A and B are shown apart, each in its own frame.
Chain A
Amino acid sequence: MTDRTLDMALPAANSRPSAAARALAALRRLPAPALFGGAVVLFWVIAALTVQYWGLPEPLQIAGKRLQAPSLSHWLGTDALGRDVLSRTLHGAVFSVPVAIGVVAAGVAIGAALGAIAGYVGGVVDGLIMRLVDVTVAFPPILLAMTVAAILGPGLVNAAFAMVIVWWPIYARLMRAQVLEVREREHVEAAVAGGAGHTRVLCVHILPLCWTPILVNATMDFGQVVLLAASLSFIGLGASPPTPEWGSMISEGASRFYNWWVAFGPGMAILTLVLGFSFLGDGLRDLLDPRSS
């Protein structure tokens, strides 16, 4: 009798919502700020992918008189060489978005792998990896990135490499903490009792339960990477001048206080993208962490 009522409430085996449908349902549960953040991020990602087809003046081309205030023909004015600031700002996404994604992806890959090994294996291996983490995080991030970038020489790729070195330890710590917690759960013991080997226990029974905080942290970190990349470029260690990179554009505009629009475009770009990632990350945390709110 009880079984019958239960069974009637059961969905048919093939009516389990598809992954896409579930993702859409999750999206609908996102709070409004997160949706806004997601929209902003999406805008910049689309800009990074398609800006060359938008019919804007070339970012390196002299499009008008120098240092013109924003007008209908140049929405964000022109810079000291007469290049269109709006075009340069939008083209900046072509550098900033891939750098953010690349640095965070590499940081997560390296950090999560090392953290998982440290947490699962323990002992000496754990000690070695975590001391390396401690040493790395002991430096202020910008200083470490500057040092590495200075050693490698200026350039966006070198700056990205430097930022990966700054970023992986956070994920190693997060992952290690998660693995330490999950590995003690009974289902892991049950898997071992079922004959699962080390690799299988770690990859099938522990890691899939460890991603939530890393995902949330990574989303927020995209913005931080954008900021750090711009900072490195600002002080001349990232992209070099003709490149329409936000940091170096602000650097060019910083000395021209009365021509505020030169720095305004890239400044707003950084602001919106960082804020967008933050809002999105906050929303994801609310969605994925049952303890918050």
Chain B
Amino acid sequence: MTVLDPTPLIDIRDLRVTFNTPRGPAEAICGVDLSLKPGEVLGIVGESGSGKSVAMMALMHLLPPSATITGSVTFHGRELVGAPRAEMDRLRGAKIGMIFQDPLTAFNPVLTVGAQIVEALRLHDAALSKRAAWDRAVELLAEVAIPQPDRRAAQYPHEFSGGMRQRAMIAMAIANRPELLIADEPTTALDVTVQAQIMDVLHKLREERGIGLILITHDLGVVAGAADRIAVMYSGRIVEQGTVDDVFYASRHPYTRGLIAALPRLDGGDGPLTAIEGTPPSLFNRPRGCAFRPRCPVALAPCGEDVPPLRRAGVVESACWRAADLAEVPV
């Protein structure tokens, strides 16, 4: 039912984030449009520094005061940009949950895991008794497949293994049944087998509860298995967007193609891994025109004139002046 609901859960329009730094203003996000329907999973992919985390932190109001945020972010039609702290406190942790990259540092080290989930619960439901909240916390830990949840709840975060901590973090994030979950590199700090378990837990949540999920990652493999749609970010902009299959098989952006080509393959033979040459541009010194131009294998002189807008190209949306030409070249 919620899946068919056409109104977006969250709608981001022309989001811009500028940091005031001693070296001058640094525009980390230069106009991002995104929307997510209830129950949908959106993967945001990009290199470190592409702005994917900053965009999410901006909508959660987690950026330092040196950041200037403009544009519009509506959650259920409510404007979040410029919303007062009290309103954000009612939303954060209740309607919008967030999972952090490093589950060890994201837990308060001096409180037991159970106590922290209890706190998350009682923060948004003052009527809940401590006893009842504790029982809920144990249930939540069970829900994310933590063995012996009643004992585990009484332990401190450092007594958990990495994978269990991340599962406990998820349990805490979903404690108040949020409609939107933002996962910022949820599997990056974990080894591959544990990654699969975490993705399993997230997948289940989405199936059972219809939670909308924004998955931030630099790992295309993670997105491929979990997301409905992908948005690829580069230097503060979305450069390509589409369904997972479309982006993987009909990409119209050389950057995305580079990322896909860089994926190690089991059947790839013994040859060296492909990499995209060069590094992302500095925020203080973006090239004119397309930011990817200096690293782009198919760039032409006019690419340096103007910033390419995100336009429909085949089955995807691509921000590349040569998107049409790329149709000829298979991915």
Contact = CB atoms under 8 A, between A and B. Distances in A.
Interface in A96-114: none
A190 B89 contact: no
Contact of B105 (A187, A192, A205): A187
B13 interface: no
A7 B106 contact: no
A187 B107 contact: yes
Interface in A180-221: 185-187, 189-198, 200, 204-205, 208-209
Interface residues of A, number: 26
A7 B123 contact: no
A196 B172 CA distance: 13
Contacts of B169: 190
Given A12-B151, A186-B100, A194 B172 contact: yes
Interface in A138-197: 185-187, 189-197
B139 interface: no
Interface in B75-116: 85-86, 88-94, 97-98, 100, 102, 105-111
A28 interface: no
Interface string A1-38: 00100110011110010000000000000000000000
B140 to A, nearest CB: 14
A182 to B, nearest CB: 10
Contacts of B102: 186
B89 A196 contact: yes
Contacts of B123: 194-196, 200
A11 B152 CA distance: 10
B107 A190 contact: yes
A76 B44 CA distance: 81
Contact of A193 (B92, B108, B111, B153): B92
Contacts, number: 80
A180 B111 CA distance: 20
B105 A186 contact: yes
B223 interface: no
B108 A187 contact: yes
User: Which of A189, A194, A205: most chain B Cβ within 10 A?
Assistant: A194
Contacts of A7: 147-148, 151
Nearest to A188: B108
Given A194-B120, A195-B91, A209-B109, A189 B151 contact: no
B150 interface: yes
Interface residues of B, number: 38
Contacts of B152: 10
A194 B176 CA distance: 10
Contacts of A12: 151
A185 B89 contact: no
A190 B116 CA distance: 11
Contacts of A6: 161
Interface in A250-282: none
B98 A193 contact: yes
A85 B260 CA distance: 88
Contacts of B111: 204, 208
Contacts of B92: 192-195
A203 B152 CA distance: 25
Interface in B122-139: 123-124
B261 interface: no
A193 B154 contact: no
Interface of B: 60, 62, 85-86, 88-94, 97-98, 100, 102, 105-111, 119-120, 123-124, 147-148, 150-155, 161, 169, 172-173
24 contacts: A7-B148, A7-B151, A10-B148, A10-B151, A10-B152, A13-B150, A13-B153, A185-B105, A186-B105, A186-B106, A187-B107, A187-B108, A187-B109, A189-B100, A189-B106, A191-B108, A193-B92, A193-B93, A194-B93, A194-B120, A195-B92, A204-B108, A204-B111, A208-B108
Q: Which 4 pairs of residues, A with B, have the shortest CB-CB distance?
A: A195-B93, A194-B93, A186-B105, A195-B92
